[in-house]
Structure 1
Amino acid sequence: MNILVIEDELRIAKRIVRMTKEFFLNTAEQITHLESLDQGLEYVQNNTVDLVLLDLNLNGENGFDLLKEAVSQSFHTIIISAYKEQALQAFEFGVLDFVPKPFNQERLYKAFDRVLNKEDIATKNIKFLAVKKRGEVRLIDIDNVVYIKGAGMYSELVLNTSATFLHDKSLEKLEQLLPETFIRIHKSYLLKISEIRAIKVSSGSKYMAELKNNELLPVGRTKYKSLKERMFG
């Protein structure tokens, strides 16, 4: 893993780097520490990154400028900040976790467990999905997303306007962030439950979700039972 730490207080940065090395052991191929937003932006745009640990207040600069860019990328972002009142907004943008300062090893390790899918995210207040289009970052309102289709390492967002946007995160990473209103119906699809009109069974026991917009999406056999329970109890 290539991990980027963006923190302007050297003492805290050294502590974060040390704990990160101890947790990830041999899987942390490179841990880079930077002190400013400009350095962080330049780094994520020009390097392969797997995880960003970001302070939101760097020498008085607003970390949300970098956060918009970060959450649109393929990696997960964990905020480490003393500004607890910004936690809700950070989750709305799509961060994996918000670790309030002062923090201890146990709390930081809990955030790292989420990176490895070992712990579910209790707070899924995501309101936007950030996507890049023509070099700019756009915030897509979750309420406008009908379903998300896996596209290799990327994901395709399909909106209620029929517009589509490509997201740099994989379907698996988006599934970690999305609220309970979305459900995995197939290895390639995440669907908003409220968009389902009916579940249809065709010959050969093939299951399909009929959407309110008349589209048909495949439902995996292993997903059919949980989908039916969610819809009908």
Structure 2
Amino acid sequence: MNILIVEDESRIAKRIERMTRDILGNTIQSLRHINTLQGAMESIGKGSLDLVLLDLNLNGENGFDMLKSAVSESFHTIVISAYRDQAITAFEYGVLDFVPKPFNQDRLEQALKRTITNEKTEPNETKFLAVKKRQKIQLIPIEDLIYIKGAGAYTELFLTDGSKELHDKSLEKLEQLLSPIFERIHKSYLVNMSEVKEIIVKSGSKYMAELNNGEIIPIGRTKYKEIKAKWV
């Protein structure tokens, strides 16, 4: 994993680095520390990150200025901050976890282990997915999302207005962030189950989900019984 720590207090940054190395061990490929918002933004722009550990107060600068951009990227973001009152907003933006300061190694380990076990985030309060669009960041309300299709390292978001947006996160990462109403019905599809109108069984053990908008998408054979039970 390539990890970036964004923290303006050197003592805390060193503590986070030490704990992270203890917890993730040889899964770490690189672990860097940056203490300014501008430096962090430049580093993110260069790509090749798997995880950002972000403080929300960087020498008086607001980490939320970076957060909206960070959550649109392919990596997960974990906030480490003393500003507990901002946790809900951070989750709404789509962070994997919010670790309040002061913290111990057990709490940091709980957050970091989610990055390698694909454990879903709690309390599933993601309300937006941030996408990069024409040099800007656009927040897509989760309520406008019908389904997500995997497209290699990227994903395609299909929205209620008929439009489609591209997201840099993988299907697996988005599945971690979204509420249980979004089900992985196929290796390439994550669907809002409230949008499923009918489940269709075709010859040759082929299963399909008909959506409220008329679209038909596949259901994996190994997923059919589970999806059918939850849909009913």
TM-score, normalised by the number of residues in structure 1 = 0.97
State the distance in 2 between where 1:220 and 1:25 align. 35
What are structure 2's unaligned runs of at least 5 residues?
none
Q: How does 1:1-233 map to 2 (within 5 A)?
A: 1-117=1-117, 119-232=119-232
The alignment-based identity, stated in percent, is: 59
Q: Conserved in 2, the CA contact under 8 Å of 1:148 and 1:158?
A: yes
Three-state SS of the structure 2 residue aligned to 1:225 is helix
The number of aligned residues is: 232
Deviation of the 1:133 alpha carbon: 1.1
User: Equivalent residue of 2:117, what SS?
Assistant: coil
Contact 1:78 1:99 in 2 (8 A): yes
Could you tell me which amino acid in structure 2 is paired with residue 140 of structure 1? I
How far off is 1:23 after superposition? 1.4
Looking at structure 1, the residues matched to 120 and 65 of structure 2 have their Cα atoms a distance apart, in angstroms, of 27
Structure 2 CA distance for aligned equivalents of residues 164 and 128 of structure 1: 15
Q: Match of 1:175, as an amino acid?
A: E
Q: SS of the counterpart of 2:228?
A: helix
RMSD (Å) for aligned C-alpha atoms:
0.9
Q: Measure the CA separation in 2 of the matches of 1:228 and 1:32.
A: 46
Q: Is the partner of 1:179 in helix, strand or coil?
A: coil
Q: What secondary structure does 1:184 align onto?
A: strand
Distance in 2 separating the partners of 1:103 and 1:28: 21
Q: 8 Å contact 2:118–2:176 — kept in the other structure? A: no
- Distance in 2 separating the partners of 1:6 and 1:122: 23
Cα distance in 1, alignment partners of residues 157 and 118 from structure 2? 26
Deviations 1:147-186 (A, max 9, x none): 0000000000000111000000000100010111111110
- Consecutive unaligned residues of structure 1, counting only runs of 5 or more, are none
TM superposition shift of 1:120: 3.5
**Greater than 4 Å deviation, 4+ residue runs:** none
Distance in 2 of aligned mates of 1:100 and 1:59: 18
- 8 Å CA contact retained: 1:94, 1:126: yes
